[in-house]
Amino acid sequence: MGQEQMSQQTEVVARAIEDLAAEMQRIKQMNIGFMSDEYDAAIARWRLNVEDMRTLLKSGAFALGSITENYNNTDRREAANWQALQ
């Protein structure tokens, strides 16, 4: 799965969490106490996990770009070295 696809799936997860939060808001109003508190804590953790996913994908994309650039520079340099030997 490519970086773009992983980013898209991260957004799918984020939307699903927000859809669930919106749907549960109605139900939460009927529930008082620990269940509601635990649900709020779980949603907060899920949202943080989505943010972590976004951060990791961005840093992975940056690292991949750097690796690609370094590889291409090395490839060009080595090609020039081989050509100089001819």
Distances (CA, A) of 86 to 79, 81, 83: 11, 9, 5
> What is the predicted pLDDT for the residue at 67?
93
Spatial distance between the Cα atoms of 41 and 39, rounded to a whole number of angstroms? 5
Instruction: Answer whether 11's CB lies under 8 Å from 54's CB.
Output: no
% of the chain with per-residue pLDDT over 70: 95
Model-wide pTM > 0.75:
no
Domain ranges of the chain: 3-85
pLDDT at 34 over 90: no
pLDDT digits (tens, 9 = 90+) for 45-78: 999 999 999 999 889 888 888 999 999 999 999 9
pLDDT at 43 over 70: yes
Q: Which residues contact 54 (CB under 8 A, 6 or more apart)?
A: 7, 10
Question: Between 39 and 51, whose confidence is greater?
Answer: 51
Instruction: Answer whether 3's CB lies under 8 Å from 60's CB.
Output: yes
Spatial distance between the Cα atoms of 41 and 35, rounded to a whole number of angstroms? 10
